[in-house]
Chains A and B, each alone.
Chain A
Amino acid sequence: MKSLLISLTLLFSVSALAHEGHGEMPTELSKFGGNMGNVVSETKMKAKAKTNPPLMKAEIVRTDSGTVRVYLYDLKMNQIKVDGLSKEAQGIVDNRKAKTKDKFTLTAHGDHFMGTMPKQKKRPFDIYVTFSKGTEKLFVGFDNLD
């Protein structure tokens, strides 16, 4: 019940903010050839980009079979181990075209979070990932994936 509530809270908080943009797109090019996103504080999501600066950067790498890996970097693009973060991260696939929101879980694997996303029939879609660092809840969004 508790986890359901958390999930629902997360879902609402994410979807409420999903279309407001996630700050400026990072200009750095990805290390693994994936898409980049800025990691921001989830609690300040409603705030403007200026007051919710990126805390770190993230890269999403997906395979055709649906495996999703999320790598984290500091602002100078040095890779960060995810061991010090929550053991799990929550992922949501927001498919505006299909009007669906599918959840999936990512688990920590040394230098990245890994999980399998539900198959999407329509493209493009966005993926939002939330995880925590200590007590701080963090969020990263990746738009227009296909």
Chain B
Amino acid sequence: MLNWIIKFALRNRLFVVVMSIAIFVYGGFVAFKMPVDVFPDLNRPVVTIMTEAQGLAPEEVEILISLPLETTLNGIPGLERIRSSSGIGLSIVYLEFEWGTDIYKNRQFVNERLQIAKDRLPENVVPIMAPTSSIMGEIQFLGLRSEGNEVDPMELRTVADWVVRPRLMALTGISQVIVMGGDVKQFQILFSSEKLLKMGIDLATLKQSLSSISQNTTGGFLDAEGKELLIRPIGRAESIEDIENTMIGQVLGRPVYVKDVAEVKIGSRIKRGKSSINGAPAVIFSIQKQPGANTIDLTKQIDAFAEDLQKTLPPGIIIEKDLFKQAHFIQNSVNNVQEAMLEGIVLVGLILFIFLVNARTTFITLTAIPLSFIVATLIFKWFGLSINTMTLGGLAIAIGEVIDDATVDVENVFRRLRENKQLPNPKSSIVVVYEASSEIRNSIVFSTAIVALVFVPLFALDGIEGKLFAPLGIAYIVSLFASLIVSLTLTPALCSYLLPQLKAITHDKDSAVVSFIKRNAERVLKRTLNHPYMVIFGGLALLGGTLALLPLMGKNFLPEFNEGTATITALYRPGISLDESDRKANEIEKIILTIPEVKSTVRRTGRAELDEHAEGVHYSEIDVDFKPDGRDREIVLEEIRTKAKASDPDVFMNIGQPISHRLDHLLSGVRAQIAIKVFGQDLSELRRLANEISSNLEGTEGLVDLQIEQLISVPQLKMVVDRELSGVNRINVGELTNELEIALNGDYVGKIIEGQMVFDIFTRLDDESRASPESIENTLVKILPSGDHVKAKDVVDIYQGTGPNMINKENLQRRIIISANTAGRDLQAVVDDINKKIEKVKLPQGYYVKLGGQFENQQNASRMIGILSIFSMLSIFFLLYIHFRSTILSLQIMLNVPMALIGSIIAIFITERVLSVATLVAFITLCGIASRNGIMMISHYLHLLKEEGEDFTEKMVIRGTVERMIPVLMTAVPSILAVIPLALSQGEPGKEILYPVGVVIIGGVLSSTLLDLIVTPTIFYHFGKKSSMKWLHHEQNKHLNKELI
């Protein structure tokens, strides 16, 4: 089969070359059209259900909304975890499904259950399923601001809601646009408690008459004179006057109009959030893309839209488009990795030229890189993968490997052509190329299979690490197999075109570099070959020494990303008012803007409608975009932290990055490495336990940012209905609370349509009537048949108490979280200490503590990679055994793995001293690359014994080693050089995860290659004779059997 492919390629070499060019051109075209993103699709299947319940307290939201939803939705197939947050007027339920489940099927299941749940929820409360969005979903901010405060916030918001948002939503690829800031326009009917009392209109009458203040109905059809007329009773109000002149009751037979008891005006809807751009009030659009949408293309579309929109906006309104854009990070990251790839290719080309000292051979070898990558890109397209830093990273790591097959082929063809030239009757050059390519086909396929198969078990990785590294693995393996195909087709075809006429094949001389290496290697070998125990114990000591470094290193789940932007959360104690929180956060925003490196800020205080975060008004999120140059980011962030804290000691700040923030949420719902979750029923007890645990943990070595979730008591004005008194006054408790809700919290009683815009009619008591507990007490609740007035104070007890600001649950259990990060100490050691300290806390019955967070993912991933690496080792061993039929020889080859480990551990220790999932994946990748050195070396010894009649002597081992040293170096050195650009750019956008991979490969290949030249020959010489003879005997018998058959 393989011979047939080579033969076909040589017989149709022009066709092969033309086809290769065609594939290259087509693939290049496809590559430019492919979606580009920072990371692969990392989305965990999560369905978010948001239920707005205006004004309800967290306790009610929990019992009336979250709990029925949770109990109904629990048990959906594939559901792994259900979390909920019940805040003031808002319930958010997160349903986290197993990785790999179909999100659309999950949504279908959820939707079916929601239909059942709806009946269990309070009237007019509608749960909404948030749209599917990607983890890198929030791609851009746009803003609307008034130039010189000429335009009032209401007009800004009206333009935002009715002009900008609908047009943005119409752009293909946008899943959600969340608008925040400005004043939402509404028609308000603000009743005066005093006037109602004077006119004798009670809450029941008010509620009854307001329910139909503005409505159109239908009168059916009228058949007249053969025509059908649609009858439309029209009662919808169209103006403030219409509302004012609506009758709401009668006093002594005289009508009472709205205007008699209320002020009707255009006002702003009650706010739960405010926003600003660069410190000035503004309306912000947070734009989220659909999963799979091309961020860069979408950003271009949005920018063009904004440009276009500016021309049609009313005077004085400016659209801000130069705010946070994820596309900058993507472009930056992808460019960085592409740059690293190009630099790698140039370095590899240079080293090949140094070894081969020939432009043509170098050219043929290098063609494998672009062609393999283009083929890989076409396969990405078929798999539905995007171009991202991980797929590009896979290609970058593969640069050193994809040229191997071509290098080995070209080197062999070149050598055979040279030998052929020396013959008295040289064969046809095309025959020589065929024979030479055919001769090494098995070793090419075999070594490619090993390097690629080592990676296969990593596809079993679950969770985010699986999602992250699978595309890297696919890119790596696909490009390796593509390079194998290239080496069997295009490489022989190009060799047959370009090499036979080459002058270099007429002389038999090594380059100066090659001669130098061979000379010195021989000298070293003569010294080490007869000291096996020194080599063995020396190697073991080195390995032991490096393994001892492992406990000195920290452990992380993934390296920190450098997104180029920062998300700063500023938290005040819950209970603070929106205005105060806005004022304080605005001060911090202004401080941030004084820092020279800051380009722009976008601040959101509180929560926007449709926002998937259940944050209260105490919470502000400031997204900071930085200028490309300036001081080191860490210094800048520290300055922000210090200045902000100095200006406002009450603020608790947390500085993160947009994508990292979402990743943390996705992993555990907590944005910290360690989350200590305390579960139980009683909120006070949970808070007490959390504080006790937190106090115990204070001072733990390596534990930083210790913080208890801000679930605290906030002031509430409680109105407790006195059932006895309400009974005496013939007032139904349910009706009373409903009426009080309308009076105090308000209600939407109709709509007013202005052109294409629809505005709510909202009603409640005016500010004066609800300014204090005393004024609320005097609200007229009912007029008794006797004419006596029943005021609120007659039937309810009003007092100021406290209640929780939020109630969080996980799998239907209330919980509070103590979060923390680690610094300067192994994560596992810190977690062990935490466990010991938690054990000392006496937990009441029914309460328990669970540890979670990034460390859990790190532990799970490390455990899984540990298991998978055993499979990788076993697959290498079995492949070697199939080839060599000897356990001893297979194990001798596998000695390269610990030799590689030595270099990689030292390399990590010298550089960042942190082991992450990326490092572990790199270790496994390294196993395949390192084994290849041993295969090349031992195969050649066996070749000398079998084909060239050498005896098993020291001379044979030295000859074999020296001869194979150059091909070994020619494959190992490019493997190192290819990843040097990755390893020289720690923390650069796009290279964060690839950096440790590069470091591990460089260290590992370096040590395994250098030690391979000493350890493998020595071990083979002293412990490989019996196995080699057995192999030789087997091979001769095989040959004989073939002849006999």
B and A form one assembly: yes
A binding-site residues for B, Cβ under 8 Å: 29-35, 61-65, 67, 69, 97, 123-124, 144-146
B687 contacts A32, CB within 8 Å?
Answer: yes
Please count the residue pairs between chain A and chain B whose beta carbons lie under 8 angstroms apart in the complex.
Answer: 52
Q: Tell me the smallest distance from the CB of A71 to a CB of chain B, in Å.
A: 9
- The 8 A CB mask of B786-812 against A (1 = contact, 0 = none) is 000000000001011110100000000
Q: Tell me the smallest distance from the CB of B991 to a CB of chain A, in Å.
A: 44
A30 contacts B713, CB within 8 Å?
Answer: yes
A32 interface neighbour in B573, B688, B801, Cβ under 8 Å: B688
A29 interface neighbour in B573, B683, B684, B691, Cβ under 8 Å: B573
A61 interface neighbour in B573, B684, B797, Cβ under 8 Å: B684
A-B contact pairs, 18 of them (CB 8 A): A29-B573, A30-B712, A32-B684, A33-B683, A33-B688, A33-B804, A34-B713, A64-B681, A64-B684, A97-B797, A123-B797, A124-B720, A124-B799, A124-B801, A145-B801, A146-B718, A146-B720, A146-B799
B339 at the A interface (CB under 8 A): no
Bound-complex Cα distance A35 to B684 (A)? 11
Residues of chain B contacted by A65 (CB below 8 angstroms): 682
Bound-complex Cα distance A35 to B687 (A)? 13
Residues of chain B contacted by A63 (CB below 8 angstroms): 682, 684-685
B711 at the A interface (CB under 8 A): yes
SS class of chain A's interface: helix, strand, loop or mixed? loop
Q: Tell me the smallest distance from the CB of B91 to a CB of chain A, in Å.
A: 21
Q: Tell me the smallest distance from the CB of A65 to a CB of chain B, in Å.
A: 7
SS class of chain B's interface: helix, strand, loop or mixed? mixed
A32 contacts B691, CB within 8 Å?
Answer: yes
Most A CB contacts (10 A, CB to CB) among B573, B575, B712 go to B712
Closest A residue by C-beta to B688: A32
CB proximity to A under 8 Å, residues B568-613? 573, 575
Closest A residue by C-beta to B713: A33
Q: Tell me the smallest distance from the CB of B752 to a CB of chain A, in Å.
A: 41
- The 8 A CB mask of B711-730 against A (1 = contact, 0 = none) is 11100001010000000000
Residues of chain B contacted by A35 (CB below 8 angstroms): 713, 802
Q: What is the total number of residues of chain B having a CB less than 8 Å from a CB of chain A?
A: 21
Q: Tell me the smallest distance from the CB of A4 to a CB of chain B, in Å.
A: 32
Q: Give 13 new A-B contacts, CB below 8 A, not counting A32-B688, A61-B687, A146-B799.
A: A29-B573, A32-B684, A32-B687, A33-B684, A33-B688, A34-B684, A34-B687, A63-B685, A64-B682, A64-B684, A124-B797, A146-B718, A146-B801
Q: Tell me the smallest distance from the CB of B246 to a CB of chain A, in Å.
A: 40
Q: Tell me the smallest distance from the CB of B228 to a CB of chain A, in Å.
A: 63
Most B CB contacts (10 A, CB to CB) among A34, A63, A123 go to A63
Bound-complex Cα distance A64 to B684 (A)? 8
Bound-complex Cα distance A144 to B713 (A)? 13
Residues of chain B contacted by A64 (CB below 8 angstroms): 681-682, 684
Residues of chain A contacted by B802 (CB below 8 angstroms): 35
Closest B residue by C-beta to A28: B573
Residues of chain B contacted by A61 (CB below 8 angstroms): 684, 687-688
Closest B residue by C-beta to A79: B695
Q: Tell me the smallest distance from the CB of A126 to a CB of chain B, in Å.
A: 10
Bound-complex Cα distance A145 to B718 (A)? 11
B712 contacts A62, CB within 8 Å?
Answer: no
Bound-complex Cα distance A144 to B801 (A)? 6
Closest A residue by C-beta to B574: A29
Q: Tell me the smallest distance from the CB of B825 to a CB of chain A, in Å.
A: 27
Q: Tell me the smallest distance from the CB of A111 to a CB of chain B, in Å.
A: 9
Bound-complex Cα distance A69 to B720 (A)? 26
Q: Tell me the smallest distance from the CB of B240 to a CB of chain A, in Å.
A: 41
Q: Tell me the smallest distance from the CB of B949 to a CB of chain A, in Å.
A: 86
Per CB-CB distance, the 6 closest pairs between chain A and chain B, nearest first, are: A33-B687, A63-B682, A33-B712, A144-B799, A32-B688, A63-B685
Q: Tell me the smallest distance from the CB of A21 to a CB of chain B, in Å.
A: 13
Q: Tell me the smallest distance from the CB of B955 to a CB of chain A, in Å.
A: 81
Q: Tell me the smallest distance from the CB of B802 to a CB of chain A, in Å.
A: 6
Residues of chain A contacted by B804 (CB below 8 angstroms): 33
Bound-complex Cα distance A31 to B568 (A)? 25
Closest B residue by C-beta to A67: B685
Q: Tell me the smallest distance from the CB of B526 to a CB of chain A, in Å.
A: 75
Residues of chain A contacted by B688 (CB below 8 angstroms): 32-33, 61, 69
Residues of chain B contacted by A32 (CB below 8 angstroms): 684, 687-688, 691
Most B CB contacts (10 A, CB to CB) among A32, A62, A64 go to A32
CB proximity to A under 8 Å, residues B791-840? 797, 799-802, 804
Residues of chain A contacted by B685 (CB below 8 angstroms): 63, 67
Bound-complex Cα distance A34 to B804 (A)? 10
Residues of chain B contacted by A62 (CB below 8 angstroms): 684
- The 8 A CB mask of B672-688 against A (1 = contact, 0 = none) is 00000000011111011
Q: Tell me the smallest distance from the CB of A63 to a CB of chain B, in Å.
A: 5
Q: Tell me the smallest distance from the CB of B334 to a CB of chain A, in Å.
A: 47
Closest A residue by C-beta to B722: A97
Residues of chain A contacted by B720 (CB below 8 angstroms): 123-124, 146
Residues of chain B contacted by A144 (CB below 8 angstroms): 799-801
Q: Tell me the smallest distance from the CB of A144 to a CB of chain B, in Å.
A: 5
A29 contacts B712, CB within 8 Å?
Answer: yes
